[in-house]
């Protein structure tokens, strides 16, 4: 009788890690999977210190920046939010990668990314781990090309 009761008690495993399933560095599980909690855990696991962002584009700050309304730029931002990249590249999460680009940089986040880093971002350098995995590569390249043109014009 006593033994039967004992066997039905489920032991509590308090040695289990709090976040057993952190997403991979370059995966895109979707923004619903990348909750604040998950992103904070990614940053904690990474262990590097938070940084801060600056304007690395030399684009001037203009009123009602047209890029904020541009569907292609909006699309790109949504793509990034689906990927683990967003965790380390947002000031809101204390991300260690923020000093090279910051999705929270205002008014236009891409101004925090240098033209050199944009090359890595689209896969023109050897740093595959820092290239954004998108499904629509053509659209991705055309947004970056538009940004390069914007930089030349400003």
- The set of residues, in sequence order, having a beta carbon less than 8 Å from that of 142 and lying 6+ positions away, is 72
Which of the 8 DSSP states describes residue 69?
A: G
Query: What crossing angle do the helices spanning 137-153 and 71-81 adopt, rounded to 10°?
Result: 120
- The label of the residue with tokens 């509590």 reads 12
Q: Which of residues 13-72 bind ligand HEC (CB under 6 A)?
A: 25-26, 42, 46, 48
Q: Which alpha helices (H) appear in the chain, and where do they start and end?
A: 2-8, 36-46, 71-81, 85-88, 115-121, 137-153
CB of 25 to ligand HEC, least distance (A): 5
Q: Which of residues 103-122 bind ligand HEC (CB under 6 A)?
A: 116-117, 120-121
Q: Which stretch binds ligand HEC (CB under 6 A): 30-38, 55-63, 88-96, 139-147?
A: 88-96
Rule CB under 6 A: say whether 88 interacts with ligand HEC. yes
Q: Which stretch binds ligand HEC (CB under 6 A): 30-38, 64-72, 84-92, 139-147?
A: 84-92
- Chain residues binding ligand HEC by CB under 6 A are 25-26, 42, 46, 48, 83-85, 87-89, 96-97, 100, 116-117, 120-121, 130-132
């Amino acid at each position: 009788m006593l033994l039967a009761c004992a066997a039905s008690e489920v032991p509590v495993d308090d040695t289990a890690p709090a976040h057993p399933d952190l997403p991979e560095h370059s995966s895109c599980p979707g923004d619903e999977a990348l909750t604040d909690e998950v992103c904070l855990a990614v940053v904690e696991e990474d262990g590097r210190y938070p940084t801060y962002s600056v304007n690395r584009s030399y684009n001037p700050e203009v009123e009602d920046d047209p890029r904020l309304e541009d569907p292609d730029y909006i699309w790109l931002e949504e793509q990034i939010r689906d990927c683990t990249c967003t965790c380390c590249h947002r000031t809101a999460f204390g991300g260690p990668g923020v000093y090279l680009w910051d999705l929270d940089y205002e008014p236009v986040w891409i101004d925090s990314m240098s033209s050199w880093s944009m090359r890595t971002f689209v896969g023109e350098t050897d740093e595959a781990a820092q290239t954004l995995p998108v499904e629509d590569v053509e659209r991705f390249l055309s947004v970056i090309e538009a940004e390069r043109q914007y930089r030349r014009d400003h």
